[in-house]
Amino acid sequence: MRHAQGVNSRLVSLSAVLTGAKSTLTAIALSSGIINILALTGSFFMLQVYDRVIPSKSMPTLVGLVIVAGVLYVFHGILEVIRGRLLTRLGWLADRRMSGPIFDATMRLPLKAKLEGDGLQTLRDLDQVRAFMSGMGPAAFFDLPWMPIYVGISFLFHPWIGVFALASAVLLSLLAIIADLRAKEPVAAVSRKAAERTAISQTIRQNIEVLWAMGFYERLAARWYRTNDAYLAEQVSASDRSSGLSSVSKVMRMIAQSGMLALGAVLVLQQETTGGIMIASSILLSRSLAPVELAIAHWKGFVGARQSWARLKRLASLPPEDAPAVSLPAPSKTLTVRGVSIFAPGDQTPIVHDASFALRAGDGLGIIGPSASGKSTLLRALVGIWSPVRGDVRLDGATLDQWPLAERGRHIGFLPQSVSLFDGTIAENIARFDPQASSEAVLKAAEAAGVHELIVQMPDGYDTQIGDQGMFLSSGQRQRIGLARALYGDPFLVVLDEPNSNLDSDGEVALTAAIADVRSRGGIVIIVAHRPNALLAVDKVMAMGNGRIQAFGPKDEVLQQVTRQAAPPGQRPVRLIASQDEPQ
């Protein structure tokens, strides 16, 4: 029995991250409490100096107060360092617990929904949340509950001192609310423009050869410049609002502190309080307003982190994808497609309508048809990339989702129309980056694809680094290595989308041999082709048009049928695929 939890089901408990960090939060709260108690040191030191040391002119008392205050300040500093490190650990812990599920969900999201931008906003959101949690912004929120205590102590000094402190705290709190209201939209706009800028830059980088060769690089670059200007404008707007309110809060705190001194002086002149209380209350007011001022200074980051957290929670609301509890045996008999209709993620228009067919072990199927007839879309459903909205795809009677992803992948070989290779060695790419891959399995796949001789002639053979997207290889080399990857591990179902589009004659011979080899060992091969040589080793053909299966059956019968249907009355039949003797 296999008990595994799906990626999204782990994400549902996203809000429990802070609960899981209860011990860290408790330590931060405890250290914050002690820090705020020690913050009273300055006020009471001044109170004792003015009301006890100066009237008594006692040097020993002053020395004793200085020693006590110095020790308390040292402990205060140590606790501030400890709290800063605890906040850093809190951000690290949140990232560690969230990054795996969020990364998995982000990478799989394009298979479920239509994305805007570069699709990596959720990873940036995670960085935003971690950066805020690791900074001093949260410290302000741990200090805010102590503000009423400071105000209460001010009332103990004198009722009017308490009223002044309360009014100052309320006024700064209103500024914090205004900061929240004014920061929401600018911060959201900055996030949107940043995503647009990143998406354009990635598009330019990925297509630089085409842009440079055909001379429209500067036009795309101009689009990036415009987007970057808009991003900078939004950034400046958000910073102006945030820094403006931060400056106002600092000025108001200084005004309040001076006002407290003036009020204290009036009370001293009226002999209602002492000079020590006057100085102490000013220092105490400054400390009581510091958390609000700190919160306003970090409010932009707080709003950004809150918006990022909301987006992460929406990601967490995706339906769970729990892995099956029972491990099925490897498929070895049939592929059955029943009434399959397929939509692109996030779209409501079907691309493939009610497709049904069945294949047995040893069958080879070639799929033909005009462009945009649904061929590649059907292949995506056959290998589990897109899930049908109706109908199902079954191997040996079991739907694809009855296998865990990694286990299902061992039974499927897929070569997409645009071959994607990854930064690493040729051997790693063929072995699908399996750390336990054996040399024998890699060599067997390469020989089955007829690419072994090509690989060993390279400078480092199978250890040759191919670069991102296989940039150091030709299109034909990438396609042949992609074919070897599809054949790695002798998968039961091998699906190839135009595998000979970049092959020379030797490559096409190797492809035909590879298809025949899969069939001879009892596998199933499905191939989309526009060139005839790719169909030499298949025994069945499917013709598609307008998203529907037009014909399916033995190769010769279907080719004759669709050729007759394609011929206008009184004209020579039109071939759907060129003959082997005609130029491609």
> In CATH, what number is assigned to the domain containing residue 287?
1.20.1560.10
pLDDT at 531 exceeding the cut of 80: no
Instruction: Label residue 323 by pLDDT band (50, 70, 90).
Output: low
Does one domain contain both 459 and 565?
no
* Cβ within 8 Å of residue 324, ≥6 positions away: 2, 401, 402, 403, 404
> Does 207 reside within a domain?
yes
Residue 180 near residue 245 (C-beta atoms within 8 A): no
Does one domain contain both 201 and 293?
yes
Half-sphere CA count of 53, side-chain side, radius 13 A: 16
Does one domain contain both 438 and 426?
yes
- d(Cα 488, Cα 439) in Å, to the nearest integer? 11
pLDDT, residue 319, reads 58
Residue 522 near residue 332 (C-beta atoms within 8 A): yes
pLDDT, residue 581, reads 38
Reduced to 3 states (helix: H, G, I; strand: E, B; else coil), residue 418 is coil
Q: What six digits make up the tokens of 399? A: 């739907």
Reduced to 3 states (helix: H, G, I; strand: E, B; else coil), residue 341 is strand
Final residue in a domain of this structure, among 316, 348, 373:
316
pLDDT, residue 192, reads 79
- d(Cα 456, Cα 463) in Å, to the nearest integer? 10
Least confident span in 82-86, 219-223, 333-337, 486-490? 219-223
> Does 580 reside within a domain?
no
What are the strands of the beta sheet with 390-395, ordered from one edge? 350-360, 334-343, 390-395, 398-399
Q: What six digits make up the tokens of 417? A: 């129309």
Does one domain contain both 240 and 98?
yes
> Does 293 reside within a domain?
yes
Q: How many structural domains is the chain composed of?
A: 3
Does one domain contain both 428 and 469?
yes
Give the residue numbers spanning the domain of 218. 7-316
Backbone torsion region of residue 361, taken as left when φ is above 0, otherwise alpha when ψ lies between -120 and 50, otherwise beta:
beta
Instruction: Label residue 5 by pLDDT band (50, 70, 90).
Output: very low
Does one domain contain both 438 and 520?
no
Does one domain contain both 230 and 94?
yes
pLDDT, residue 9, reads 41
Q: What six digits make up the tokens of 168? A: 């100052």
Residue 336 near residue 524 (C-beta atoms within 8 A): no
pLDDT, residue 360, reads 94
Higher pLDDT, 15 or 473: 473
Higher pLDDT, 118 or 335: 335
Mean pLDDT of 192-198: 81
- d(Cα 519, Cα 494) in Å, to the nearest integer? 10
Q: Which residues pair with 364 in a beta bridge?
A: 525
Does one domain contain both 360 and 398?
yes
Instruction: Label residue 58 by pLDDT band (50, 70, 90).
Output: confident
Least confident span in 31-40, 424-433, 503-512, 562-571? 562-571
> Does 325 reside within a domain?
no
Instruction: Specify the DSSP class assigned to residue 310.
Output: H
How many other C-beta atoms can be found within 10 angstroms of the C-beta atom of residue 370? 13
pLDDT at 424 exceeding the cut of 50: yes
Taking only the tens place, the pLDDT of each residue in 167-182 is 888 887 787 777 667 6
CATH number, residue 463:
3.40.50.300
Mean pLDDT of the chain, nearest integer? 82
Does one domain contain both 407 and 420?
no
Does one domain contain both 269 and 121?
yes
Q: What six digits make up the tokens of 194? A: 């940043």
Which of 418, 419, 353 has the alpha carbon at shortest distance from 381?
353
pTM for this predicted structure: 0.69
> Does 233 reside within a domain?
yes
Instruction: Label residue 574 by pLDDT band (50, 70, 90).
Output: very low
- d(Cα 559, Cα 579) in Å, to the nearest integer? 12
Residue 378 CA, distance from chain mean position: 27
pLDDT, residue 484, reads 93
Residue 445 near residue 413 (C-beta atoms within 8 A): no
- d(Cα 542, Cα 553) in Å, to the nearest integer? 7
Instruction: Label residue 215 by pLDDT band (50, 70, 90).
Output: confident
Taking only the tens place, the pLDDT of each residue in 224-260 is 888 888 888 888 877 777 666 677 777 887 888 888 8
Final residue in a domain of this structure, among 286, 316, 346:
316
pLDDT, residue 8, reads 42
pLDDT at 496 exceeding the cut of 90: yes
- d(Cα 458, Cα 472) in Å, to the nearest integer? 11
Instruction: Specify the DSSP class assigned to residue 108.
Output: H
pLDDT at 575 exceeding the cut of 50: no
pLDDT at 4 exceeding the cut of 50: no
Does one domain contain both 266 and 294?
yes
End-to-end CA distance of the chain: 52
Q: What is the dihedral of CA 82, 88, 89, 95, to 10 degrees?
A: 170
Q: Which residues pair with 552 in a beta bridge?
A: 542
> Does 581 reside within a domain?
no
pLDDT at 374 exceeding the cut of 50: yes
> Does 485 reside within a domain?
yes
Final residue in a domain of this structure, among 285, 316, 347:
316
Taking only the tens place, the pLDDT of each residue in 103-132 is 777 777 766 666 565 567 777 788 888 888
> Does 323 reside within a domain?
no
pLDDT at 303 exceeding the cut of 90: no
Does one domain contain both 62 and 88?
yes
